[in-house]
Amino acid sequence: MGQIDEAHDDGRGMNREPEETSQEGAQRGSARGAAWIALGLVAVIAWRFTFAWAFNLIPDECSYWAWSRRLDWSYFDNSGGVAYLIRFSTWLFGEYTPFSVRFPFLVLSLWSSYLVYRISFGLFGDRLRALLCALVVNLAPVALLGGSAAIHDNALLFFWLATLWAAVRFIDSENSRWFFLMGLTSGLAIQSKYTGVLVALSALLFLLLSSRHRKFLFRREPWLAALIAAAFTLPIIWWNVRHDWASLHHILFIGSGAQSPWTRISDGITYHLAQILVVSPLFYGALVAAVGSSLVPDVQRRDPKILLLLTFSLPLFLFGILAFFGHMEANWAFVGYPPAAILAVEMIARAQADRQSRFLSRINRSYLRWAVLVAVAPSVLVALHAWLGLLPAGLEKKLGKTDRIVWETRGWKELGAHVGKLAKPDGVIAADSYQLCALLEFNVPGNPKVRYLAPWKRPTQFDVWSPSFDDLKGRSIVFVSPKPLIPSAPGRVTVYENFRQVEALPTYHVQYHGESIREVYVCRGLDFNPFSPVRLGPRSLFYKDW
């Protein structure tokens, strides 16, 4: 007996050793994986600090910075959260620099990454997968290239994820007090961007679909939270009441799309192709496969964790459908990708464990490596092209505005210095596009406020600030435009005739590899007359008045 027992014990010891070795190997593999993921996240953070400090503001960022100098309850084409953040940051730093403008969005991008990790871990309890989710979200080209830019989307993404994190805490504890935090973050999402209103709709949709949590719709907390969120819309409503609902007209106009059914189908397909580029092809394929495989069965099973992620991915489904009926920008749906990415990582991990989905189980480490390469390589090329210029000067000159990378990043600081030398200390600087106005305000030394001066009637935020040109009567104006100011002709109306005299000033040449690839024209118009020969302004804020 003793020998048998001894032999049995030895046998168990022999069987145990490979199991322990296997477990140790798995642990070492997990540790290595976590180390590589953490290294990737550190690299992303380092890149964002470099971008925020080293690259000049692009036109959209300059526009929002210009908003921050003229604080208001809301603005012509969006809510004011981005302006408030920039104003606070530039006040804190005491200067206008690319870093001081981008700083709050850099901080929010770091918190957004942490929230992705906390949401994944809170739902599924796996730290390695949670880290992977944070990395996947940050490696999407749109996140790599714009993750710390001073734009609406970065603020919206943070508050969207904060609302989702509060919802995770709610389903974990079923404590109704989490609704109050959801109300607060939903309101701040709306203040970040108009599409933030969809986060409240996502939460409502979850409560409707989850049989376990539907009962909370009959309690007061969700509706009090809705009132909290609604309170953040009051400044937007107040601004629109004072401006005859100009923002609503603007949104309806830009979202109207083409009239032809075939053109709308083409626009919808183009939108979805843009989504592939925004997220990266292999990441996009994994997201679509994982979300698609869970959409019907998990909605039927009413798994609250999966339902939560699906409902907070609402912008993906909504804008994907609306793209065939009107104009949708490629970035509008991005807030839906982090919840979808968390869901995709979980679905892929489950498929690899139980082999239920042949395609998902094949998304292994090799697939992930290629996905990372396919996502990161184009982003690196874009950054290098913006910094060094990867195309020959001759080709770049032919591309012109088609190459948005060089167009939006090169030459603006130097243009500001050039115009600053030509402008008189008490003179007026004007331009014929709102982007150029904002770029000049930021880059001309002393940051003078620039007037939007154009004969066409398309409304902009600058028209809210200065709808009339009557105060410029008799003034000399330094006028800046990508086209030379010439007399009006059939098919082209200019402000040339509104000046008594126009003096050409030195043209600014945007340099690229030592060659001029485009010109920005500068002139001085003397004795401006807004009344003759064509009455300029007051400019309407409505497209119907074109």
Per-residue pLDDT of the chain (546 residues; tens, 9 = 90+): 443 344 444 444 434 455 556 566 656 767 888 899 999 999 999 999 999 999 999 999 999 999 999 999 999 999 999 999 999 999 999 999 999 999 999 999 999 999 999 999 999 999 999 999 999 999 999 999 999 999 999 999 999 999 999 999 999 999 999 999 999 999 999 999 999 999 999 999 999 999 999 999 999 999 999 999 999 999 999 999 999 999 988 888 877 766 788 888 898 999 999 999 999 999 998 888 888 877 767 666 778 999 999 999 999 999 999 999 888 888 899 999 999 999 999 988 888 777 665 667 677 778 888 999 999 999 999 999 999 999 999 999 999 989 999 999 999 999 999 999 999 888 899 999 999 999 999 999 999 999 999 887 789 999 999 999 999 999 999 999 999 999 998 888 899 999 999 999 999 999 999 999 999 999 999 999 999 888 888 888 887 655
Beta strand 477-481 pairing with 499-512:
unpaired
Q: Is 449 exposed, middle or buried (0-12, 13-18, 19+ CB in 10 A)?
A: middle
Q: How far is CA 181 from the centre of its chain?
A: 23
Give the span between the Cα atoms of 287 and 537, in whole angstroms: 50
HSE of 377, CA atoms in CB hemisphere, 13 A: 8
- Considering Cα of 346, then 349, then 352, then 355, what sign does the dihedral take? negative
Closest CA to 336 of 217, 175, 205: 205
Count of H helices and E strands in the chain?
24, 5
For residue 290, what is the enclosing H or E element? helix 281-301
Contact residues for 486 (Cβ-Cβ < 8 A; gap 6+): 494, 496
Q: Can you tell me whether residue 58 is helix, strand or coil?
A: coil
Closest CA to 325 of 375, 374, 259, 369: 259
Q: How far apart are the first and last CA of the chain?
A: 101
For 420-483, the three-class secondary structure string (H helix, E strand, C coil) is: HHHCCCCCEEEECCHHHHHHHHHHCCCCCCCEECCCCCCCCHHHHHCCCCHHHCCCCEEEEECC
Q: Is 308 exposed, middle or buried (0-12, 13-18, 19+ CB in 10 A)?
A: buried
**CA dihedral of residues 169, 175, 179, 184 (deg, nearest 10):** -70
